[in-house]
Each structure stands twice: as structure tokens, then as C-alpha cells.
């Protein structure tokens, strides 16, 4: 009750609901950042696995000059990283 009273002094209209809403927005932004970081980690693991398996497989003479194939997916595809950082601090 003391917290609600102090919150009402700071924000007479919303009280602690305003603080809860702000915290929920921060949680949402952090969940998005966590999902992006997890996807990047998966991407790096897949790339590392593909790279290590490429170099450990015996190469036939016809394939020795060809570069490794392009990754199946790109983590940056369709993501705007700048909007995630901005929303956390606003």
C-alpha cells in the first residue's frame, strides 16, 4: 500500500499501473533481444559445424577448388536490430 501511495504521488492518474506497464514494455523488448541472441547463437553453431565438416571431409579433385556453400539462412534476414535497442531505453 505504501508503494501504491508513493506511486500515486508521482503519477496521480496511473499510480503503480504506469510503472508496471513500463516494466512490461521492457520485458517485451528484452524477450525480443534474447530471441535474437539465441538465433544468432544457433546460426553461429550451424556455421561452425558446416565449416568444420567441410574441412574434415576428404575432398575430391573436382570439388577442391569450390568454396563452401552459402548458409541455409541468414540471421539478419528481416530483422531491424536498431529498433530493439531504442525501445528498451525509451
Q: Is 24 inside any structural domain?
A: yes
- Per-residue pLDDT reduced to its tens digit, 33-78: 999 999 999 999 999 988 887 766 665 555 555 555 555 555 555 5
Q: Is 80 inside any structural domain?
A: no
Q: Which structural domain, as residue segments, surrounds residue 1?
A: 1-53
Q: Is 43 inside any structural domain?
A: yes
- Per-residue pLDDT reduced to its tens digit, 3-12: 888 888 888 8
| Grid cell of 48 as nine digits | 561452425
**Residue 21 confidence (pLDDT) above 70:** yes
The position carrying cell 565438416 is 53
Phi, psi of 19, rounded to the nearest 5 degrees = -65, -40
- In the chain, the number of structural domains is 1
Q: Is 12 inside any structural domain?
A: yes
Q: Is 45 inside any structural domain?
A: yes
The 8-class DSSP code of residue 68 comes to P
d(CA 75, CA 5): 46
Q: Is 6 inside any structural domain?
A: yes
Averaged over 18-35, what is the pLDDT? 96
Amino acid at each position: 500500500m505504501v508503494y501504491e501511495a508513493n506511486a500515486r504521488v508521482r503519477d496521480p492518474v496511473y499510480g503503480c499501473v504506469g510503472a508496471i506497464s513500463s516494466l512490461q514494455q521492457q520485458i517485451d523488448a528484452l524477450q525480443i533481444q534474447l530471441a535474437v541472441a539465441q538465433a544468432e547463437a544457433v546460426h553461429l553453431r550451424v556455421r561452425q559445424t558446416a565449416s568444420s565438416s567441410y574441412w574434415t571431409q576428404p575432398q575430391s579433385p573436382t570439388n577442391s577448388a569450390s568454396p563452401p556453400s552459402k548458409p541455409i539462412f541468414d540471421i539478419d534476414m528481416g530483422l531491424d536490430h536498431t529498433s530493439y535497442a531504442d525501445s528498451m531505453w525509451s
